[in-house]
Amino acid sequence: MASAAVSQPVHPRPAIELHEASVVFGTGEKAVTALTPTTLRMDRGDFLALVGPSGCGKSTILRLASNLIKPSSGQILLGGRDAAAKEMRIGMAFQNPTMLPWLTIEKNVMLPLKIVEPFKRSFQRDKKGAYRDRVHALLAQVGLKDFANHFPWQLSGGMLQRANLCRALIHDPDLLLLDEPFGALDQFTREELWQTLQELYLDRQPTVLLVTHDLREAGYLARRICVMSARPGRIISDRAVTMPQPRDIGVIYTPEFVEMTQGLRELIAQVRK
Least separation in angstroms between residue 101's CB and another protein is 5
Nearer to another protein, 68 or 240 (CB): 68
If binding is defined by CB under 8 A, does position 100 make contact with another protein?
yes
If binding is defined by CB under 8 A, does position 253 make contact with another protein?
no
Q: Which stretch binds another protein (CB under 8 A): 109-117, 182-190, 193-201, 217-225?
A: 109-117
Out of 2, 6, 24, 111, the only residue in the binding site for another protein (CB under 8 A) is 111
Q: Which stretch binds another protein (CB under 8 A): 25-33, 49-57, 143-151, 249-257?
A: 143-151
Q: According to the 3-state scheme, what is the secondary structure of the chain?
A: CCCCCCCCCCEEEEEEEEEEEEEEECCHHHCEEEEEEEEEEEEECCEEEEECCCCCCHHHHHHHHCCCCCCCEEEEEECCEEHHHCCCCEEEECCCCCCCCCCCHHHHHHHHHHHCCCCHHHHHHHCCCHHHHHHHHHHHHCCCHHHCCCCHHHCCHHHHHHHHHHHHHCCCCCEEEEECCCCCCCHHHHHHHHHHHHHHHHHHCCEEEEEECCHHHHHHHCCEEEEECCCCCCEEEEEECCCCCCCCHHHHHCHHHHHHHHHHHHHHHHHHC
The count of residues interacting with another protein (CB under 8 A) is 27
If binding is defined by CB under 8 A, does position 183 make contact with another protein?
no
If binding is defined by CB under 8 A, does position 184 make contact with another protein?
no
Least separation in angstroms between residue 9's CB and another protein is 24
Residues that bind another protein (CB under 8 A): 66-68, 86, 90-92, 94, 96, 98, 100-104, 111-112, 114-116, 149-151, 153, 167, 171, 177
